[in-house]
Structure 1
């Protein structure tokens, strides 16, 4: 257990002094702590003069064309996809359950499923929700993995799964055609 700083002790003393004891109880004696005097301002010593160097011409910056940025993973699909997802009618071609895997092993399983080329277009990836005190690390890493260049080129979109497929603990990964 760490000790309180002088500032924290002074603050606690102020709070404790403002509390009224319950009926029939005596107030506890709280030592009065005086806040420490502020430290003296540092003395600034004069700095030696710096000679100015002759101005050099600065070359003009040539802006390179920015590479085309791929669509984000939430890129719009046609309305049919979103309707099927919202109504729970989308049937995944392959289900990948990452429960029980380490983070490194889960990435390997996911990457092999996306790069596998087995003709699957919709993957259902079950990551789990985690708990409030311990969120799912695999779920937290999923977006980072899908943004990696080796996987990004194959992924068309990422959507939250319908409750019948796992809801908040699962995602649909829609792969690009011909990949």
Structure 2
């Protein structure tokens, strides 16, 4: 290629050290290529011993956090939800409200459920509009905002998970709000 120059001995040695210190992100089963020998020293220059390459230690990875409303539950909860065996302790119907009134009702409903010690709240948001609807969005505005409202609410620490409801409880038009178990204070 025109414009490419050859590395001199010092640059080649530096490049070899850099290449030796790099570890692939995703190792493959390919055989490692033999390391390139250091180029012969240029005439009249003395070869300087180079220290071994520094070992690159990857930074620790941050733990993955579940997205808002997707807190983990044990497998029995998810199996019960899938089978429709969950019995909500209370129901809160938001569909048909404005965003402002639905947000206020949600806050008050969460507060009541927490005060009563409910474990599961059935939150009815309304089904998303049909595809042939003239509305420009794929799902209802309340449904779209609920996860953000709950994640930012003063009750977020009391909520273990937010899951889609079973069809017998409203399916895509409802959600289960599952509260954390209250630990007795000693």
TM-score (norm 2): 0.55
Q: Which residue of 1 aligns with 2:89?
A: 93
Q: Does 1:110 align with 2:106?
A: yes
Q: Which residue of 1 aligns with 2:158?
A: 154
* Equivalent-residue separation in structure 2 for 1:150 and 1:82 (angstroms): 25
Q: After TM superposition, list the pairs within 5 Å mapping 1:22-171 onto structure 2.
A: 72-116=68-112, 117-131=115-129, 132=131, 133-134=134-135, 135-171=139-175
Question: Given the superposition, is the C-alpha separation of residues 99 and 72 from structure 1 closer, same or farther in structure 2, using an over 3 Å criterion?
Answer: closer
* Equivalent-residue separation in structure 1 for 2:160 and 2:111 (angstroms): 13
Residue 161 of structure 1 contacts residue 167 of structure 1 at CA under 8 Å; is this kept in 2? yes
* Equivalent-residue separation in structure 2 for 1:128 and 1:84 (angstroms): 23
Unaligned runs of 5+ in 2: 1-61
Q: Which runs of 4+ in 1 moved over 6 A?
A: none
Residue 114 of structure 1 contacts residue 175 of structure 1 at CA under 8 Å; is this kept in 2? no
TM-score (norm 1): 0.57
Deviation at 1:178, TM superposition (A): 2.3
Residue 128 of structure 2 contacts residue 172 of structure 2 at CA under 8 Å; is this kept in 1? no
The alignment covers a number of residue pairs equal to: 112
| Partner SS for 1:153 | helix
Deviation at 1:130, TM superposition (A): 2.7
Deviation at 1:156, TM superposition (A): 0.6
